[in-house]
Structure 1
Amino acid sequence: MRVIIVGAGEVGFNVARRLSGENKDVVVIDMNPKALSKVSDSLDVQTIQGSGSSPEILEEAGVREADIFLAVTDKDEINLIATFLANKLKPGIIKLARIRNEDYTKYSDMFSEGDLRIDTIINPDEEVVESILRVMSVPGSVEINDFVGGKVRLIGVKLPDDSPLEGVQLMKVREQLGEDIDVVIAALVRDDELIIPGGLDTIEKGDIVYFTCMRDQQDELLQRAGILSDPIRKVLIVGGGNVGSLLARALDNKKYHTRLIDNNADRCADLSEALDRVIVLNGDGTDQDLLNEENVGELDMVISVTGDEEMNILSCLLAKNLGARKTITRINKFAYIPLIQPIGIDHLVCPRLSAINSILHFVRQGKVISAVSIKGEEAEALEAIAQEQSDIVGKPIMELNLPKGTLILCFQRGDDVIIPTGLTVIEPNDRLLIISTHKNIPKIEKALTTKLELY
């Protein structure tokens, strides 16, 4: 597979890193020589200095022989022109473009056909808001992802000290929780190490447990596991930019009592006019006097989503110190991600990681519907259609010789979602949810597409 990436920023670099590590043929284009130098020094990929909006540069990159074209610069106009030219030079190529400006996204129908066709418009801000809303729906969670059209959830939750699951073998989890609950333990995080477990593994005190469950059984499952916490009602948003305003609109209803702080008076005036129930305040999210005036210690959640990640971190730490129950911070630099929870912030959202997740399933071989990174990039959850020629079709799961660190969590057959056993046989067109460590992804891709052995 040949992939051309326009843009060598955080998104372009990290997509290139993921794909080059899987032995895919990657070309990265960027105007900035320093950004390209970082790519070429770190990765086994081809780099070309120049504009992705130049037909000559795209020809030099081999666009006519490429399978996928990714335009992920920080400039929407460059991404749009680059995908337009790629479509002219190779009409059948799969194209993804990172577009954030609402002036373009609200006319997304224009990009569905003809010379302007873009297979997927990636809007990281919208993805981040969806991620925040999912976390708010399960306040005790570390990470939540939806699959099978929203019917199945993968929920990562830190096990409380009094949970009845402590010390329970995984093969006995359903016995402990009740046979009427369909659940699979997809992964454990113990001492910051991710484990794809087997049936003989035991849940231990302090583990982060990733449950795979039916969406409509989520609350009952968490309650029986001793995890369900009080719902989120009182919310403070710090930052009224793209993410903050989108989130405020999503929370502008009777269910939430929402306040928003921003230090730009003109932006506050615009937001105040556009929102009905959200209280908009002009001020600094790191102003302790202001936070005290707004009784931040009584809030269920403080969500800091300004464009300044240092301010986001400080405002969350300050709010937590003043008594806020939960905090979410927006992070752009990947290097900061491992630091967030150890310093006391409950959750993080990363627009660039959201963009990478949106891209991944397009570059996965086989009929992959979605792909999501778990615990940063240590594992990946793939949702894919089982094809007739696939190596995983026609025999019991226990005979598939799946690589260590790989589990089939569930699958959809027709309208039914099934939690499999070792005796379950995968049939063509089953919609599978698979979790695997990152190093096994190339083997899983082969298994989804061919009759090649996994070992």
Structure 2
Amino acid sequence: MGFFSRAPRVEQLKVVIVGAGEVGYHIAHRLAQESKEVVIIDQSSEALRRVSEVLDVQTFQGSGCSPVVLSDAGVMDADIFLAVTDSDEINIIACLFANAISPDSIKIARIRNEEYNLYQDALTNKPLNISTIINPEIEVIKAIDRMLAVPGAVDFSEFAEGRVKLVGIRVEKGPLVGKKLMAFRDVVPDTNVLIAAIVRGEDLIIPSGRDEIISGDIVYFACKDTSLDVVRSVCGRDMAPVRDVLIIGGGNIGLRLAVLFERKGLHVKLVDKSEARCQYLAEKLNSTLVLRGDGTDQDFLREENVGEMDAVISLTSDEETNILSSLLAKNLGAKKTVTRVNKVAYQPLVSAIGIDHSVSPRLSAVNSILHHIRRGKVLSSVSIRGEGAEALEAIAQADSELVGKPVKDLAMPRGTLLLAIVRGKEVVIPSGDSMIQPDDRIIILSTRENVSRVEQALTVTLKQL
């Protein structure tokens, strides 16, 4: 019987979420789709109405700082407690009472104020015992850094300390266009590369050998780190690294990103409208050229040679400004544009109008939180194309049905694909005859609909079946 052939008997995970804003809503949305027991608490009846009308979750109106509300919401039985309101102070107090009520539950808090992060030990030890602190600003900077790490890529993730890469590249011409995947080895004989997914418009496909690559597809390749140049070469992508960057918006994210780029030795220009803010930025930064100006002023962008930039990153708090400045930069010849979009619903629209990448602090926080609440021996997880699919890195448990069988006999459903097996220092991009051994690291890509089955399969053992 195959690995996925029957549903394992695993206790349902219970998650209590304080905060029904964008972050709380999207986490609840993802978890409800995976049939987890979700309870969401908020003081706003309007926010809770939006949740209850769309999602199959339980709602409680009240303050997340109230131990009575937390008790009534069943925090004592929660496996995971998430405090993700827009207020750092509410999130901290909510974790304080949650720890008193349910000391064994995993607690994750969204905390943005850098001053609190300086005292991380006080937050993660008693009396709070916060397991993980999520800072949306830091998460979005990590996302931008990944986007620029591989020239020519539209998405990029790493697993197993960087030994396994998952890279998405838009394929517009070259030997792969028009090829069915059963002929992939005729074009790419390197067995350390496989095609993990294809994004076509708004559709995400976990492919079979019958699927075909067409011009304009974003193709996700899983490969060893040593085969990354093979992937870029077959896609005909420029391999020149990013060196010259223009950042529009000198807020906290823009400043943090400029500091990171300085450390990496990039040539950075940082633009902000406020004279006072520019003076502050100039004091905080070393090699970055700080400019007072308007990122939506075409003449200003032309004067600053925006057409010669490897990347233009728009990070103001105003979405319209970010979108317009990115479009102007692209029109003037910038090689790559990254745009901050706060509303998650706007994300699909950005690529449709010609902007290369979009980032959302809220969505970055959601993805980071989801990675921390996966069951089983899951080491990391990465969302692909928003909520379309997820790649999970996990440890294969010794007494699981997963081990000791050829991959072709695991009966994985369509929409699920084993990308890599990591055994000690060895990385295997699997074939049908590959076998998973106890304690191997495995990386599995799954569509949203199958994530819960994958997660349960990673948790279940033969004794539970």
Fold shared per TM-score above 0.5: yes
Q: CA deviation at 1:39?
A: 0.7
The residue that corresponds to 1:154 in the other structure is 166
2:154 aligned with 1:120: no
Q: CA deviation at 1:48?
A: 1.1
2:37 aligned with 1:25: yes
Letter in 2 for 1:214: K
The residue that corresponds to 1:269 in the other structure is 279
2:218 aligned with 1:199: no
Q: CA deviation at 1:62?
A: 0.8
The residue that corresponds to 2:93 in the other structure is 81
- Whole-Å separation in 2 of the counterparts to 1:105 and 1:339: 34
- Whole-Å separation in 2 of the counterparts to 1:268 and 1:262: 6
2:172 aligned with 1:166: no
TM-score, normalising length: structure 2: 0.93
> Is the CA contact (8 Å cut-off) linking 1:382 and 1:435 kept in structure 2?
yes
Q: CA deviation at 1:298?
A: 2.0
The residue that corresponds to 1:376 in the other structure is 386
2:122 aligned with 1:107: no
> Is the CA contact (8 Å cut-off) linking 2:158 and 2:164 kept in structure 1?
yes
**Pairing partner for 2:192 from 160, 182, 187:** 182
Q: CA deviation at 1:105?
A: 1.4
Q: CA 1:81–1:254 in 2, change beyond 3 Å: closer, same or farther?
A: closer
The DSSP-based 3-state class of the residue aligned with 2:199 is: strand
Aligned residues: 452
2:102 aligned with 1:90: yes
Letter in 2 for 1:87: N
- Whole-Å separation in 1 of the counterparts to 2:138 and 2:372: 19
Gaps of 5+ in 2: 1-12
**Pairing partner for 1:345 from 355, 358, 364:** 355
Letter in 2 for 1:65: D
Structure 1 segment 373-452 matched on structure 2, within 5 A: 373-451=383-461
Q: Whose RCO is larger (CA < 8 A, sep 6+)?
A: 2
2:219 aligned with 1:209: yes
Letter in 2 for 1:170: L
Q: CA deviation at 1:74?
A: 1.1
**Pairing partner for 2:372 from 338, 362, 377:** 362
Letter in 2 for 1:4: V
- Whole-Å separation in 2 of the counterparts to 1:174 and 1:80: 53
2:316 aligned with 1:316: no
**Pairing partner for 1:67 from 73, 79, 97:** 79
The residue that corresponds to 2:61 in the other structure is 49
Letter in 2 for 1:230: A
Q: CA deviation at 1:201?
A: 2.9
> Is the CA contact (8 Å cut-off) linking 2:169 and 2:235 kept in structure 1?
no
**Pairing partner for 2:25 from 13, 34, 47:** 13
- Whole-Å separation in 1 of the counterparts to 2:437 and 2:260: 40
> Is the CA contact (8 Å cut-off) linking 1:6 and 1:71 kept in structure 2?
yes
The residue that corresponds to 1:332 in the other structure is 342
Q: CA 1:398–1:47 in 2, change beyond 3 Å: closer, same or farther?
A: same
The residue that corresponds to 2:4 in the other structure is none
In the TM superposition, what whole-angstrom CA distance separates every residue of 1:380-432 from its partner, at most 9, and x where no partner exists? 11111111232322211111110111100002112222111111121221111
- Whole-Å separation in 1 of the counterparts to 2:149 and 2:14: 39
**Which moved further from structure 2: 193-202 or 303-312?**
193-202
- Whole-Å separation in 1 of the counterparts to 2:57 and 2:83: 17
Q: CA deviation at 1:282?
A: 1.8
- Whole-Å separation in 2 of the counterparts to 1:224 and 1:37: 50
> Is the CA contact (8 Å cut-off) linking 1:380 and 1:436 kept in structure 2?
yes
Q: CA deviation at 1:369?
A: 1.4
- Whole-Å separation in 2 of the counterparts to 1:236 and 1:27: 43
> Is the CA contact (8 Å cut-off) linking 1:72 and 1:97 kept in structure 2?
yes
Q: CA deviation at 1:29?
A: 0.8
> Is the CA contact (8 Å cut-off) linking 2:193 and 2:227 kept in structure 1?
no
Gaps of 5+ in 1: none
The residue that corresponds to 2:5 in the other structure is none
Q: CA 1:227–1:298 in 2, change beyond 3 Å: closer, same or farther?
A: closer
- Whole-Å separation in 2 of the counterparts to 1:284 and 1:269: 16
- Whole-Å separation in 1 of the counterparts to 2:281 and 2:377: 42
**Pairing partner for 1:244 from 242, 254, 258:** 254
In the TM superposition, what whole-angstrom CA distance separates every residue of 1:221-241 from its partner, at most 9, and x where no partner exists? 312432234322221101111
- Whole-Å separation in 1 of the counterparts to 2:112 and 2:278: 21
- Whole-Å separation in 1 of the counterparts to 2:70 and 2:206: 41
> Is the CA contact (8 Å cut-off) linking 1:138 and 1:228 kept in structure 2?
no
Q: CA deviation at 1:329?
A: 0.1
In the TM superposition, what whole-angstrom CA distance separates every residue of 1:255-276 from its partner, at most 9, and x where no partner exists? 3221011122222111101111
Q: CA deviation at 1:307?
A: 1.4
- Whole-Å separation in 2 of the counterparts to 1:324 and 1:29: 44
Letter in 1 for 2:122: M
Letter in 1 for 2:20: A
> Is the CA contact (8 Å cut-off) linking 1:219 and 1:228 kept in structure 2?
no
> Is the CA contact (8 Å cut-off) linking 1:30 and 1:50 kept in structure 2?
yes
- Whole-Å separation in 1 of the counterparts to 2:343 and 2:402: 38
Letter in 2 for 1:340: V
The DSSP-based 3-state class of the residue aligned with 1:58 is: helix
> Is the CA contact (8 Å cut-off) linking 2:152 and 2:232 kept in structure 1?
no
Report % sequence identity.
Answer: 55
> Is the CA contact (8 Å cut-off) linking 1:164 and 1:226 kept in structure 2?
no
Q: CA deviation at 1:342?
A: 1.2
The residue that corresponds to 2:7 in the other structure is none
